[in-house]
Every structure is written in structure tokens, then in C-alpha cells.
Amino acid sequence: MALTIFYVLFLCFLLTYEPIWGYISYQRFKQDIHKTPENKNRRIAYYKETMLALWIPTLIIVIVTMISPITFSSLGFSWPSLNTSIFGKWISYILLALFVGYLFAIVYHLVAMKTSQVFRDKVANELEKMPYQELLPESSQEKKLWGYVSLTAGVTEEIIYRGFLLLVLMTLVPDASEWLYVVIAGIVFGLAHTYQGLSGFIRTTLIGICFSMLYLILGSLFPLMIFHFLIDFVANASNSTTERNKM
């Protein structure tokens, strides 16, 4: 009973804290950056606040797992094992192919940023149009800290929004379809990124759905943690290369 209450409270937390406070916090950060661009510590402070906001619920999940019947393997801490029976072979293999293809695209992106001036100019123009470009690091200290932010997001968000959230949904609504689980988990993940605007919400919701499906297909968070980290980290790599190119 106590565990069920915790599940409900945790779900309420995900539906309120990040969508509301995360949005307010980012708006304040954005205003501060525009009003006092000379404040070199504001972005660093925001990075630290973001990491803290992700690690605290993650550590709570770890503690609850250690003192409850929940196992770490049920949270996705296990080696990948292919299961195509949940969504069917065709959907599973197509999603895995997209996953591998995106990994190759990330590698291509990093190589092209190093070797192609045309590609760097194209990425620079895209970065300038980003609705949340204030987040991107500028100083060397910020870029170093961004690596930790990327690692934090890759690890903690997968534990929170894939491993634990899907466990909560399956426990609270045990007879629902896996499709419903992944859609709800994707929407909750998208709500946590409301600071990115409507397009960001839609994009991260779709990513959340795909990641949730991949998690159920692979039965492991480890590939998704690496993938998530690379997606976030490549933004820093792109920004760093374009910044050097402007000098």
C-alpha cells in the first residue's frame, strides 16, 4: 500500500514539477541571460540547478528500490535482450534500424563538423534559430559542465521516464496495453520539456514514445542512456565547433 501511494505521488510530481517549475525556472534564466549577458556564472548556476533537479528524484528511486520489493533489473539495469513479441517483429526491427541509423547519423554529424566548412555554416544557421539556444554553453567552463549535464540527463531521465515511470504505469494500471504505457510515458517526458515550446514538446514526446518502445524491446536502459547522452552532447560539440569557426 505504501509503495502504491509513493507511485501515485511520484506520478503527480512528474506531471507538475517539471512542466510548471521547469518552465518558470527556464524563463527566469532566459530573462537573466538577456538582461545581464556579462554575468558569466548564470548559465553555470542553471546547469547545476538542472543536474540537481534530476539527481534528487533519481536517488529517491534508487533508495526506494533498495528498501522495497522492486528490483534493479525491473528498472532496466540488465543486459539487453531482444523481445519482439510486444510490438511485433516488423515494428521492433524498424525501430531498431532507426536507432542504429540515428547513431550513424550522430557519428556522421561529428565527423562533418570537423571536416566540412559548408556543414559547419549550415549547423551554425540552425543553432541561431533554436528557440532555446540560450542553454548552449559558451565559455570553456560552461562547455565542460555541459558534458556533465548531458551525462546526467542520459542517466537520470532514462531511469525516471523509462525504467521507473513505465514500472509505475504497469503497476497502477496492470491490464492496459503496452501502447498506452509508452504513449503516456512519452507525453509525460514531453511535458518535462515544455520550456522548449510547443514544437519542443511534440518532438520530445515522440522521442519519449520511441525510447519507451526501445526500452521494452531491449529490456535494458543502458543502450538508451548512451544514446540519450550522445544526442545531448552533440549539441555542445556542434556549438563548440561553430564558435571556433567564428573566431
pLDDT tens-place string over residues 174-187? 999 999 999 999 99
Residue 211 corresponds to which cell in the numbers above?
525510447
Res. 236: pLDDT tops 80: no
Question: 30 vs 160, which has greater pLDDT?
Answer: 160
**Dist. CA 237–CA 154, nearest whole Å:** 16
User: Which pLDDT score is estimated for 243?
Assistant: 52
Q: pLDDT at position 113, please?
A: 81
Rounded (5°) CA angle 27-225-33:
20
What pLDDT, on a 0 to 100 scale, did the predictor assign at position 244?
Answer: 47
Position 66 scores a pLDDT of 96
Question: Hey, what's the cell of 198?
Answer: 510547443
* Residue 21 and residue 29 in contact, taking contact as beta carbons nearer than 8 Å: no
Q: Across all residues in the chain, what is the average pLDDT?
A: 89
Q: Which of 171, 181, 175 lies closest to 217, judged by CA? A: 181
pLDDT-derived band at 133 (thresholds 50, 70, 90) equals confident
Per residue in 31-52, pLDDT tens? Answer: 998 888 777 788 999 999 999 9
- Whether 134 contacts 196, CB under 8 Å: no
Q: Does residue 130 register a pLDDT over 80?
A: no
How confident is the model over 140-165, as a mean pLDDT?
94
- The DSSP symbol for 88 reads -
Q: Report the alpha-carbon distance of residue 213 to residue 83 in Å, rounded.
A: 11
**What's the pLDDT at 218?**
96
State the pLDDT at residue 60: 97
Whether 19 has a pLDDT exceeding 60, the answer reads yes
Q: Say what the pTM is.
A: 0.91
Q: Are 173 and 7 in contact (CB under 8 A)?
A: no
Q: What is the mean pLDDT of residues 7-30?
A: 93
Angle of helix 140-152 versus helix 42-67 axis, rounded to 10: 20
> Which runs of consecutive H residues, i.e. helices, occur in 68-160?
89-115, 117-128, 140-152, 158
Structure confidence at residue 124 (pLDDT): 72
Which residues, 6 or more positions from 20, have their beta carbon under 8 angstroms from its beta carbon?
A: none
Q: What are the pLDDT digits (tens) for 93-127?
A: 999 999 999 999 988 888 888 888 888 778 777 76
Contact, 219 vs 92, CB < 8 A? no
Which has more pLDDT, 247 or 79? 79
Q: What is the pLDDT of residue 34?
A: 84
